[in-house]
Structure 1
Amino acid sequence: MKIADMNWMQIEEYLKTDDRVVVPLGSVEQHAYLSMAVDMILAEKVAVDAAEPLGIPVYPAIPYGITPYFAGFAGTVTLKVSTYVALIQDMLDSLKRSGFKRIVLVNGHGGNQPAQSAAAEWMLNNPEVKVRFYNWWNAPKTLAAVREIDPTSSHASWMENLPWTRLKEAPSPDHQKPPIDYQRYAIMNAEESKAYLAEGNFGGWFQRSEEDELAMWNVAVNETRAILEGPWS
């Protein structure tokens, strides 16, 4: 259930019997022909789908993350690492104050990795609270499902081209892009990155069949649900 569909009294009542909660982490950045909010949309969607049968509340996704390498693409928003770490830790303080003791950060963007270190550091001073940082898209079973269909798929490829992220007015092409040279890409600045990536796909098919999409998504939802279930000790 979404926090957006609850009031404070319902949250207080929920906390009498359960102390789990989910916070999706996203980013607003280029995703080739797809929505700028892909990472935010998918992190929240997989969290909500996974948590619904368990009755665990899910906060709205934090939309902004750390993505300086895409700063050359129009519309991208990137936070400083220090800002992001402070945001994560302030949020955890608030969740603890409310009474949540088992918190899952469902991450949808690779650049948000500092949130994992921020959560680990925060737990040093809050040992009574458990925080899990979870990258939904590269969890073992989900990644295996993706690789089985397309070993080269990556950022802005078919694995992110889903009914909730594609744009009707900007259809994706139907071919497989060769993977980028990650060693070269790692040292590029934002403008070099834009020139090198062209439309933005890192490699792989731009689109696949609905059957392939939903098969991958079901694996992702079930794997995320298992994280919410535990173990927690």
Structure 2
Amino acid sequence: MRIQDMNWGQVEARVTQDDRCVLPIGSVEQHAYLSLATDMILAERISVEAAEPTGVPVFPCLPYGMASSFAAYPGTISLKLRTYLAVIEDMLDSLHRGGFRRILIVNGHGGNSPVNPLISEWLNAHPDASVKLHDWWRAPRTWAKVMETDPAASHASWMENFPWTRLDGAPVPSFSKDRIDFAAVARVDAQRKRERIAEGNYHGVFQRPDADMLAIWQVGVEETRHEIEHGWH
């Protein structure tokens, strides 16, 4: 259930019976020929679909994350580390104040991973709570399905090209891109990163058949639902 379909009284009543919630987090950044909002679209959609049978409320996706590597691409928005951690902490505090004690953070962007130490610190200050960070696309079963489908999978490649991240009027290339030099990209600033990454795909083809993508998506939904339903103690 999307939290926007509830009022505060309904939330107050619900948390007395079920104190779980889902908080998707994403990023607005370059994804080659796909939507700049790919990470937030996927994180929120998979959260909603996974939670739907459970009735667990899903908050709107936090759209902005840490994307400094892509700062030279127009449309990318990147929060500084200190800003991002402060935002996440404030959000966790708000959820806790509202009665939620089991919080699943569904992450759609690898650059957001530095929240792990913050979660550990926050839990020390809130021993009555449990927080899980679920990187949906690289969770074990989902990643295994990706690798089974095509091991040349990366940022802005086919593995993020779903019907709901594609753009009308933005056709994708039909070739397979060679793997970028990750070490060379890591040691330079955003402008030189852009020169070395080019359109944004790290490696692999830009698109695969929808049947492949929907099969991966189904695994991702099921794995995310398992996180909602299990492993809180």
TM-score calculated relative to the size of structure 1 = 0.98
| Deviation per residue, 1:172-200 (Å, 9 max, x gap) | 12222111111212112100111111110
C-alpha separation in 1, matches of 2:176 and 2:56: 38
Q: Matches of residues 207-218 of structure 1 in structure 2 within 5 Å?
A: 207-218=207-218
RMSD: 0.9
Offset of 1:9 from its aligned partner?
1.6
Kindly provide the amino acid, as one letter, of the partner of residue 133 in structure 1.
L
Q: How does 1:175-186 map to 2 (within 5 A)?
A: 175-186=175-186
Which residue matches 2:129?
129
1:59-208 paired onto structure 2 within 5 Å: 59-208=59-208
CA positional deviation for 1:30 = 0.2
How far apart in 2 are the matches of 1:216 and 1:174? 21
Partners in 2 of 1:223 and 1:141 — Cα distance? 7
One-letter identity of the residue aligned with 2:155: H
Structure 1 unaligned segments of length 5 or more: list them. none
Runs of 4+ aligned residues of structure 1 deviating over 3 Å after TM superposition are none
Partner SS for 1:131: strand
Name the residue aligned to 1:26: 26
Aligned partners of 2:119 and 2:21: how far apart in 1? 15
Distance 1:90 1:217 in 2: 31
Read off the aligned partner of 1:114 and give its amino acid letter.
Answer: P
Aligned equivalents of 2:52, 2:81: Cα separation in 1: 32
Provide the rounded CA distance (Å) in 2 between the counterparts of 1:3 and 1:162.
25
For the residue of structure 2 that corresponds to 1:103, the secondary structure is: strand
Q: Give the letter for the 2:2 counterpart.
A: K
Rounded Cα–Cα distance in structure 2 between residues aligned with 1:159 and 1:117: 28
**How far 1:147 moved relative to its partner?**
1.0
Residue in 2 that maps onto 1:230: 230
Residues in 2 aligned to 1:43 and 1:68: alpha-carbon distance in whole angstroms: 20
Structure 2 Cα separation of the partners of residues 13 and 205 of structure 1: 48
TM-score normalised by the chain length of structure 2: 0.98
Q: What CA distance in whole angstroms lies between the structure 2 residues aligned with 1:11 and 1:95?
A: 11
The separation in 2 between residues aligned to 1:22 and 1:159, in whole angstroms, is 23
Contact 1:116–1:133 under 8 Å retained in 2: yes
**Partner of 1:56 in structure 2?**
56
| Residue identity (%) | 54
Deviations 1:8-63 (A, max 9, x none): 12212221210000000100000000000000000001111111011110000001
Unaligned runs of 5+ in 2: none
CA contact (8 A) 1:21 1:103 kept: yes
CA contact (8 A) 1:152 1:178 kept: no
Aligned pair count?
233
1:65 CA displacement:
0.4
1:77-108 CA-partner distances (Å, limit 9, x unpaired): 11110111111111111100000000011000
